[in-house]
Amino acid sequence: MDENMSKRISKDFLMSNHVDEIVNSFAAVSELYSAILDINGHILIEPTGPSTFLGEFFELVRNPKYSKLYADIVNCIVDSKQAMYSEIDDGNPDSRFAAAPIFVNGTFYATWILYAHNKAQNQRLFKAFNHMSSIAGAITDIISKLYENSIITGEEEEIKVEYEFEHSAKEVMKQALDVIADGDRVSIFKLYDQVGKLLDVDYMVYYAIDSDRPGYMKLVDYWAKNGKSKEAEATFSWDSDHYDVELQNRIKKDCLVIDKTNMTNKMRVEVFQGNAKAVMVFPVYIREKYQGRLIFIENTKERVWSECEVALGRELTDMIARGTAIQMRLYRGNKNIKLFTELFDLLPEYIFVRRRNNGNVVYVNPALKEKMGFDMTGQNSYMLVPNMRVGLEELKVTQDIPVKLDKEVFTRYIDKLGGNYKVAEYNMRWKDLEKVEILILTPEN
């Protein structure tokens, strides 16, 4: 049974909403004994009925020796999802009972029991059975609606808060995805403020593995609720990995989630030095290699991390990992491009680089500038060498010709250069991973 449902739909809840009056009125009119039990056998509506055998009915409902009988009744109803009418082994050959299921939002929640102790009551029970099923269905609808209306109060307010949290988290992650697409890790750190306020934490700290010193961490960045300060930075500027080996392995394998449900005094003192009441630690993996960790710290109040909060922490960590990977790739790519341009500057061949999406020139080597008499950087290059790939791609699609598009070599007359040239065209990534074509023009003779 749902824990929130069992806490909310209590005996007092049903009485305050007069559900007991509906049940007891039917029992009184039918002159039968009645009670409602939850699926675990706890009384939700007290036994009622004619005074003659009410004591026997109380015994039947409350005596633990009948708990197996009730469990069998529940299982039978669960399987059939229908009301049942049967004999009952309570030492009285004339006794009978009927049991009807009560559902709350589609969940089997309770059983309404009508009991007949003698033959006269048994006849009334047989006649009332069909009406009982109908009323049980009505009670199901009533309790379900009462339960739904009560969700925004008391304990169910958490559901509303959780929904609002998830909605806000999705907005933050949407922004993070846009940042990732731009490869701008700096902008990801700017999202810290939104995430910190959403999670209502005191600090978020990002550490990277110190590749030069095994077993050591280095502080990359951090966020503080009250703003950055020298004191906060000094607190987080650890040299050594202060977690013990067991915790380190837990972090690397999945994550470390510590709150008031599992924080020990030893851990509070030895690991967190009395400065944390709850933490979430997530590993940062870049290209499947453990590279660091992101830590969320609460040191103001005791708290229990919700599933949504853990999920958001994990997603943000993944975003940072992806952003870092892109940044590293950009750095290496831009470093390689610098080497390319230095090489092209020295070559006698005519070389230029153009954007693949529109043909605009992003680089021209000195040899081609001298040949043309001007620098065509920023201009459209199709006037020099048309886009040959459109036709080739169409041939590949329409005629199933196995044309390789990563590299093309062809000869054509280039009017601007006044002669036939062998053209070598290469696909490549340029600065900031932009898709480009490198064209190398060599005079045919």
Sequential pLDDT tens for the chain (445 residues): 566 666 677 888 888 888 888 888 888 888 899 999 988 888 999 998 888 888 888 888 888 888 888 888 888 888 888 888 888 877 788 888 888 888 888 888 888 899 988 889 888 888 888 888 888 888 888 888 877 776 655 544 554 455 455 555 556 655 655 555 555 555 555 677 777 778 888 888 888 888 788 778 888 888 888 888 887 777 676 555 667 788 888 888 888 898 989 888 878 777 777 778 888 999 988 878 888 888 888 888 888 998 888 888 888 888 777 777 766 666 676 777 888 888 889 889 999 999 998 999 999 999 999 999 999 999 999 989 988 765 544 444 444 433 334 567 888 899 889 899 999 888 888 887 788 999 999 998 7
In DSSP notation, 301-354 reads S-----HHHHHHHHHHHHHHHHHHHHHHHHHHHHHHHHHHHHHHHH-SSEEEEE
In DSSP notation, 192-219 reads HHHHHHHHT-SEEEEEEE-TTSTTBEEE
CB 157 within 8 A of CB 149: no
Return the structure tokens found at 154: 């008391």
Q: Catalogue the long-range contacts made by 119-128 (C-beta closer than 8 Å, 24 or more residues apart).
A: 119/94, 121/31, 121/32, 122/94, 122/95, 122/96, 124/30, 124/31, 124/32, 125/30, 125/32, 125/85, 125/96, 125/97, 125/98, 126/85, 126/96, 128/26, 128/30, 128/32, 128/98
Return the structure tokens found at 378: 């920023």
CA 361 from chain center: how many Å?
43
Task: Tell me the pTM.
Answer: 0.45
Residue 72: enclosing H or E segment and its boundaries?
helix 67-80
Q: How far apart are CA 46 and CA 20, in angstroms?
A: 8
Which domains can be identified in the chain, with CATH numbers?
Answer: 3-150 (3.30.450.20), 159-329 (3.30.450.40), 347-443 (3.30.450.20)
CB 325 within 8 A of CB 289: no
Return the structure tokens found at 182: 């731009």
Q: How far apart are CA 104 and CA 125, in angstroms?
A: 25
Class of residue 290 by CB neighbours under 10 A (exposed 0-12, middle 13-18, buried 19+)? middle
> Identity (one letter) of the amino acid at 63?
N
Q: Catalogue the long-range contacts made by 410-414 (C-beta closer than 8 Å, 24 or more residues apart).
A: 411/444, 412/385, 414/384, 414/385, 414/441
Of 195, 198, 207, 203, nearest to 225 (Cα)?
Answer: 203
Residue 408 dihedral angles phi and psi, to the nearest 5°: -130, 140
CB 396 within 8 A of CB 299: no
The structure tokens 């069998």 sit at 72
